[in-house]
Amino acid sequence: MEKVIIIGSGPAAHTAAIYTARANLKPVMYEGLMAGGMPAGGQLTVTNDIENFPGFPDGISGQSLMSLMRQQALNCGTTIKTVTVNKVALNEKPFKVFAGMEEIQAETIIIATGATAKRLSISGEAHLWQKGISACAVCDGALPIFRDQILVVVGGGDTACEEALHLTKYASKVIMAVRRDVLRASQAMQNKVKKNAKIEIYWNTNVTEALGETKLKQVKIFNNRTEKNSVIDVGGLFYAVGHIPNTDFLQGQLKLDESGYIVTRPGTTQTSIDGVFACGDVQDKHYRQAITAAGTGCMAALETENYLDRE
Ligand code: FAD
Ligand code: NDP
C-alpha cells in the first residue's frame, strides 16, 4: 500500500511530489501517457516560452521548465510511472487507483490532473496555434508579436472579458467576438469591458477561419444575424471559450461544481472525501497559472502530511 499517490504531472503534481517526498512519504506519481491528449508534464509542454514563472529572468521554455520540475521530483525520491489513471475507488479506505493493468491501494490521493482549454477547431487553427492563436492572454499577451496589433478575443464569459481587458495594455484595439447578443459574464465585468474605449464588441459573431502562412494575419468572421461573412486583419486570436477539467476518471465520486471542477473547501485543497486532495487547474477555474498550480500543490502536500499524522 502506498502512503500517497499523485495523479497528474503539471506544476501542481510535481510540487506536491517534491514536498511529500521530502517529508519521507515516498510518493508515487502517475504522470499519464497522453492523458486527455496532453503529454506528461501538462499544459506547459505545449507552449513556447514562460516569462512569468519566478526564477527564470530570461524566460524558459515550457518543456524545459517541466523537465526540471520532473527531475527535481525524482531527485527528492518520487517514483514516477508513465501510465494514465483510468479509474479510482474512493468509497472505502484504503482508496484504490486503477492505472493500466495495475490496481494500487493508497492511504491518500492527490489529484492534479489539470484542465484543457477548449478550442474552436476552425480551419487554419492547427497550423497557426501559438503562431498568433493562443488560449491564454495572461500568459502570451505581452509577447512582442501581439504589441500594437488588433487582437480578437472569442467568448463572452468572465474569462473573455478579463482577457480582453488584459490585452488592452498591449493591443492597439481589442475586438470581442461574441456569438450571441449578450455577454455571459458578470455585470461588474461587463461594465468594465463596455467602459473601455479600446474594446469593441462584435455581437452575433462567430470566428470561422484563421488565415496566414507562418503566422496569423487575418480571421474570417460570420455574423449569424445578418448571415454576412467578412475578413479582418488581426495580429492575434485568443480563445476564451471555457476549459474542460480532467475529471472524467473520477466517475462522480467527488463533489464537482457545475462546470466539472473539483470542489475544495475554501482556503484548502481538501475535497469532499477526507484523505483526497486536489490542486492546480482541476480545482481552479479562476487563476489557472503555473505558479498558482504549484502553490496549491504545496498546500496539498502539507495537508496530506497533516492528514497522515492525524490518522
Ligand atoms: P496541467 O498542466 O494541466 O497538467 C496536468 C496533466 O496531468 C495533464 O496534462 C496530463 O498530462 C496529466 N493527467 C491528466 N489526467 C490524468 C490521468 N487520468 N492520469 C494520469 N495523468 C493525468 N501559465 C503560466 O503561469 N505562464 C504561462 O506562460 C502559461 N502559458 C500557457 C500556455 C498555454 C498554451 C496553456 C494551455 C497554458 C498556459 N499556462 C501558463 C497555464 C498553465 O499551463 C496551467 O495553469 C498549469 O499548467 C496548470 O498546472 P496543473 O498542475 O494544474 O496541470
Ligand atoms: P464560460 O463557460 O462562463 O463562458 C464561455 C464563453 O465562451 C461563453 O460566452 C460562451 O458563449 C462562449 N463560447 C463557448 N463555446 C463557444 C464557441 N464554440 N464559439 C464561440 N463562443 C463560445 O467560461 P469562462 O472561462 O468565461 O468562465 C468559467 C467560470 O469561471 C465561470 O463561472 C466564470 O464566472 C468564472 N470566472 C470568474 C472570473 C472572475 O470572477 N473574475 C474570471 C474568470 C472566470 P455563450 O454565452 O453563448 O454560451
Active-site residue identified among 49, 58, 76, 136: 136
116 lines ligand 1 (CB under 6 A): no
102 and 127 inside one domain: no
CATH code, domain with 206: 3.50.50.60
pLDDT digits (tens, 9 = 90+) for 97-138: 999 999 999 999 999 999 988 999 999 999 999 899 998 888
> Average of pLDDT values for 60-72?
97
The DSSP code for 272 is S
For strand 49-50 and strand 60-61, is the pairing parallel, antiparallel, or unpaired?
Answer: antiparallel
Number of domains in the chain: 2
- Which of 223, 239, 255 lies at the terminal end of a domain, its last residue? 239
Of the candidates 62, 64, 65, which has an alpha carbon nearest to the alpha carbon of residue 48? 62
Instruction: Report which of 241, 229, 124, 110 is spatially closest to residue 178, judged by C-alpha positions.
Output: 241
User: Which residue do the cell numbers 480532467 mark?
Assistant: 246
User: How confident is the model over 39-61, as pLDDT tens digits?
Assistant: 899 999 877 788 899 999 999 99
The span from the first CA to the last CA of the chain, in angstroms, equals: 15
Q: Is 140 a catalytic residue?
A: yes
Q: Is the CB of 138 under 6 A from ligand 2?
A: no
* 265 in the same domain as 163: no
How confident is the model over 228-237, as pLDDT tens digits? Answer: 999 999 999 9
Q: Could you tell me if 43 and 154 lie in one domain?
A: no
For residue 178, the one-letter residue type is V
105 and 156 within one domain: no
Same domain for 172 and 275, yes or no, is no
Does pTM top 0.75 for this prediction? yes
d(CA 187, CA 77): 49
The boundaries of the domain holding residue 202 are: 119-239
Check whether residue 179 and residue 227 sit in a common domain. yes
Dihedral sign from CA coordinates of 234, 240, 245, 251: negative
175 and 233 housed in the same domain: yes
- The residue among 239, 268, 286 that closes a domain is 239
Residues 41 and 88 in one domain: yes
Examine the domain organization and report whether 222 and 251 are in the same domain: no
Phi-psi region of 288 (alpha: psi -120 to 50; beta: other; left: phi over 0): left
Ligand 2 centroid vs 152 CA: distance in angstroms?
15
